[in-house]
Structure 1
Amino acid sequence: MGPVSLLEEVVQDLERHSAQEGWDAAPRLYALVQSTELRREEPELADQLNLSPDVDTLAALEQPALPEQSAVEDALATIAWPETVTGCALVLERVVLPPGAEGEIPEDEGEAAEWAAKHPAREDVRMVVGVLRDGTRHSALRLRRHDVDDEVLVGPDLVPALADALAATFEPDEPGEAAAG
């Protein structure tokens, strides 16, 4: 299986796992590590994750909790991954409003969040976006009102701004804090 297929597989696995846990979850960041690398560096962890020694896959290792949803992009800007991390993925829920609603949003951030949460045309969306160090991307989107597995949207560029923010965590000229593994 090539890197794109491995990334698609891990993004879809993270999406299914998130769907089983339900809605209204905090953002979750994952380091993606080749299972052969993990087996070599952390054999006990590889065993705990039931990673087969015969198949090289991408293992998704959940990272420490991120800040509240509005500051996720800012938190990503502080992350720099060690070379052993092949990619990363983020699971994030957002409220999406219809076009034209932007002009009605209150200035105050707290009021704006409450207003959006009560908007009759709001749409709750769960996004799972993964990127590899080589630039490969994949994402999955699930709408709360269409909360069934066969209506999950998938593709490489569904959330380009978020994929760009994740890809920036691999840029060497952007020093930041290393994420824990």
Structure 2
Amino acid sequence: MSENDDHGPATTPARPLPAADRGLAEAVQEIERHVALGGWDGPVRVFALVSTRQALAAEPTLATQLAPEVLSQAADDAHHLTAVEQEGLPAATSLEELLAGLSWPATVDGVAVVVERVVLPSAAEEAMPTEPDAALEYLMAHPDRQDVRLAVGVLRAGGSWCAVRTRANDVDDAVAGGPDLVPGLVEAVAATLL
């Protein structure tokens, strides 16, 4: 993705980002668009983020697997990141349990997680039953519910970026982006890098 790509006002920050943050924002946006191609109702997906330059230096044959535009971007931008989807994630009963079981070698510069959630307005959440089955039934039947896809990336050196897409506005230029749109998930993903 180049700096000249137009992804609409929702994904374009109001002020320029520092180079490392821009690299992370671009990687998270690319991951979210990639996952969006598969449609909704997908599983949790986890990606290791690695410096493209460092990965190419360590493994020169990687150049044959990357698109020419990626190689060009990496040559021009020391902060360019390559996302590597993690296959065979450990079995977990919740996102929290999955994240708690992840750890990364020092060669991984960051992590991105993509998950779908159902959200309600605050007033509707207050009326939700406390019993889990009743709460799920209430949530799924509520007329104001919103299905959202959250893509959250965090760098080991600091910095985060979130991309949020709603099913009701399922187009690339309606994806919201920012460093702390989902603070709880940012914190949980960052903990995997400790």
TM-score, normalised by the number of residues in structure 2: 0.78
Paired residue type of 2:26: E
Residue 54 of structure 1 aligns with which residue? 75
Shift of 1:58: 0.5
CA drift at 1:104 = 3.9
Report how many residues are paired: 171
Q: CA deviation at 1:110?
A: 4.2
Q: 2:24 matched to 1:10?
A: no
Deviates more, 1:96-105 or 1:120-129: 96-105
TM-score relative to the length of structure 1: 0.83
Q: Identity of paired residues, percent?
A: 46
Q: Is the contact made by 1:31 and 1:60 (CA closer than 8 Å) also made in structure 2?
A: yes
Cα deviation code 1:20-51 (max 9, x no counterpart): 22111111000000112222333444422335
Q: Is the 8 A contact 1:27 1:68 kept in 2?
A: no
Displacement after TM superposition at 1:54 (Å): 2.8
Q: Distance in 1 between matches of 2:66 and 2:154?
A: 21
Structure 1 residue aligned with 2:55: 38
- Residues 58 and 118 of structure 1: CA distance in aligned 2, closer, same or farther (over 3 Å): same
Q: Tell me the SS of whatever aligns to 2:122.
A: coil
Give secondary structure in 2 for the equivalent of 1:100: helix
Unpaired runs of at least 5, structure 2: 1-17
Structure 1 unaligned runs (5+)?
A: 172-181
Alpha-carbon deviation of 1:65? 4.9
| Alignment root-mean-square deviation, CA | 2.3
1:112 equivalenced with 2:132 (yes/no) = no
